[in-house]
Structure 1
């Protein structure tokens, strides 16, 4: 009996040993690397795809600074309509993510200008794995080659429990970040700017948002936190056709719907929250998702700063600030069966500040919403002199060393007693974020 027990424990121990690793490994990728080398700091790999082959749960891939010119020959997966260029399909595990991080304070830039597959949508960083963490990467020059209704994407995600941190997605034709699948993903301290698809349809860039999450049923727990979107030809943040709730916390959207020369382009909403276009009632999700927009800032977007986008139900709008948008708060809804537009109902609006627009708030059925301590509820309207600063250039200040949003004076109230304290707190946004690492 004793020999049998010892044999069982010995076998069990063998399985445990075989299924776990005693330590995590570190790999390096560099512009002057070679995929035939070991991937060490002295002899780095040349490509992220080679690093992915070697990496296991718990490992870290450090990416050295410099510009990585990505060629069309690097497309990892090609289907009828899609070119997935850098395809991340290997997963980490809970508490053991695979990390793809910029090395120390260096900034790796991946330039996709030479990736122009005919009649395919380009997904530059295409993520289908789970428990992955991307940090400190820039993506530029992503192209559109199709003339009809289409879109290319800098970072696309299909996985769960992923973190996208301190990414810069700019100066291309593609959406910054986009997903229709996945749960419990965090997009934190990322910037998407100067993106305009001038090729497809009418050339106005009607599909080029800064950030979009449109989760299918079951895709819960997805959060944008501390992100900025500006000079994107369409919207800053968008969650149309989302079957689950999406949260936007402490994000900034400004100058969307314009080129950097302020030429009018596509829709230009700061935060387009919800909606299902003209979908029949049978196609709507049940229960209807209720989105959260909290401590966000919308400045000088062409159309709506905060826009309910015909959503057939309410959302939560808490401690947000809107300034100089076409309409600051547009709460337009549709009936529960999505058959016709109606003034907004079911919304919670608490502690919001609206200033500097002819449309401070529109399309709202106040009797069917919960309104608490918003600036548009007080008798005395806000004036320019009530704010510490109205200098919109502050929005472009560099991020703090830890990646958090810059601390700015823009739109902070400098008077007390004008409105409730909760409204004052709306302009003193907490830029603290967490990646739980």
Structure 2
């Protein structure tokens, strides 16, 4: 009888969820005597990481964390990992590593210089992790030959969120992904990063954000609301990507330059794909993915603002972007697969763009610059530079052409600053000149460029299209929301509630049967509604 009562007690206790635990880390913490409480914090993330479980949060208190070589968690091959993040949360219980309230934790890597190693500040193998509000500065390079260091490296983690993180004033790439699917990089900044140690000291590997998935299964990776400036190579780069990448509402400016505008690395704003100048055809992914650059701003990057980068065969998608004062605003250079006249083998050959799709893009000429090159046979309609567009782009189209506000502080929720730079002025002939691509817009049709105005050529006062609350539609596995949803409920067409999610940017619908579903949503700004989506297999 006693054994039965004990078993019943155990089952009863197991029916209650284990409460999540908060751990605290602080610059004046102690990994030996600390207990991880707010009054007795640990000194390092890795100490707290020994104890975390799904649903737990590690809060980093504000201040400067002066890291040392002694705190490197592990060495492997050519890499030195300061933080090795291999624990995972679950889809309903993320593990969070976040700034405490409005404090600013700054991880200072300037004294970490392991000779002969590539430095990675956060090496992320775990899934369902959320990093928010962290600053990483001073990440070093010690190798003088070909190399790179990285602030964040996503190496196999899935469904991770990197939010409101800043990686700056160092020698490293801000964020770098090679493996993992459905990761979201949200409202992050990478700036003032220049490797002046290795090779020619021009920093030719230091991008703000790099996404280079090495397998076709690493799908669903999105960069949204990010900024990249004064990185010695490119702002955003997805060369050698075996899976599609999305850049959405991101800004790139001053890349390829030092802060004094000394010429450094490549200097592209958005480098969308490609596999180098002479890839081995048999090594190319099958199928070759198509990348998307949408609602993005490219300004005064040394080379190209928006660049297809020799992308092979398959076209990329460029929607509602604005490009101004770059070396070239839009460069659609492609590669086609052909037969080598010398060897008779398959090879690639650079050629004017083909298969790329460009709609609703805006190019503003600076002086005598070349605005658009290698357009070839791309789908080029409803752009300011499309044949017979009927529009002329001048300074008078914009509320402001003063770029000084691009580095303004972000809004309270972490979103991009609300500035007037290159936003359309009332009466501009660029208003209502786009085509309906399923994104929200005012008036009769969308405007050209990255910033939809509040004006219209008619008296239509409100948004008339809400189809872009999420994508893709139809969907195979993951619905991505363009802004955080307070609550989402998915119903069958017979009214049966099937899925529910709260406070999320994504929803996994991979287990749904093929068919049509209704989704009720409530946004954080209190807007709500119901919309259909199609689940495919």
**Range into which the TM-score falls when normalised by the shorter chain:** over 0.9
Q: Which runs of 5+ in 2 are unaligned?
A: 339-346, 435-445, 454-481, 485-502, 506-537
| Correspondent of 1:349 among 347, 358, 364 | 358
CA RMSD of aligned residues (A): 2.3
Give the match for residue 249 of structure 2: 250
Give yes or no for contact 2:323–2:330 (8 Å, CA) kept in 1.
yes
**Deviation, structure 1 residue 191:** 0.2
Higher relative contact order, structure no. (Cα contacts within 8 Å, ≥ 6 residues apart): 1
TM-score under structure 1 normalisation?
0.94
| Paired residues for 1:247-396 under 5 Å | 247-277=246-276, 278-312=278-312, 313-336=314-337, 339-357=348-366, 358-366=369-377, 369-377=378-386, 378-396=389-407
Q: Which runs of 5+ in 1 are unaligned?
A: none
Give yes or no for contact 1:295–1:429 (8 Å, CA) kept in 2.
no
| Paired residues for 1:24-423 under 5 Å | 24-35=20-31, 36-158=33-155, 159-217=157-215, 218-277=217-276, 278-312=278-312, 313-336=314-337, 339-357=348-366, 358-366=369-377, 369-377=378-386, 378-414=389-425, 415-418=427-430, 420-422=432-434
Seen in structure 2, the aligned counterparts of structure 1 residues 86 and 19 have a Cα distance that, compared at 3 Å, is farther
Question: Which stretch of the first structure deviates more once superposed, 388-397 or 298-307?
Answer: 388-397
SS of corresponding position for 1:404: coil
Distance 1:276 1:10 in 2: 63
Distance 1:72 1:304 in 2: 38
More strand by share: 2
**Deviation, structure 1 residue 285:** 0.5
Seen in structure 2, the aligned counterparts of structure 1 residues 10 and 331 have a Cα distance that, compared at 3 Å, is farther
Give yes or no for contact 1:229–1:236 (8 Å, CA) kept in 2.
yes
Question: Which stretch of the first structure deviates more once superposed, 417-426 or 382-391?
Answer: 417-426
How many residue pairs match? The answer is: 430
Distance 2:268 2:219 in 1: 24
Seen in structure 2, the aligned counterparts of structure 1 residues 20 and 49 have a Cα distance that, compared at 3 Å, is farther
The question of 1:426 aligning with 2:449 is answered yes
Distance 1:189 1:354 in 2: 25
Give yes or no for contact 1:258–1:265 (8 Å, CA) kept in 2.
yes
**Deviation, structure 1 residue 230:** 0.1
Seen in structure 2, the aligned counterparts of structure 1 residues 16 and 134 have a Cα distance that, compared at 3 Å, is farther
More helix by share: 1
SS of corresponding position for 1:385: helix
Seen in structure 2, the aligned counterparts of structure 1 residues 285 and 14 have a Cα distance that, compared at 3 Å, is farther
Distance 2:74 2:16 in 1: 30
Seen in structure 2, the aligned counterparts of structure 1 residues 138 and 330 have a Cα distance that, compared at 3 Å, is same
Give yes or no for contact 1:69–1:111 (8 Å, CA) kept in 2.
yes
What whole-Å deviation, never above 9, does each CA across 1:120-158 have from its counterpart, x for those lacking one?
A: 100011111111000000000000011111000011111
**Deviation, structure 1 residue 263:** 0.6
**Deviation, structure 1 residue 419:** 5.9
Question: Which stretch of the first structure deviates more once superposed, 415-424 or 371-380?
Answer: 415-424
**Deviation, structure 1 residue 106:** 0.3
Give yes or no for contact 1:65–1:107 (8 Å, CA) kept in 2.
yes
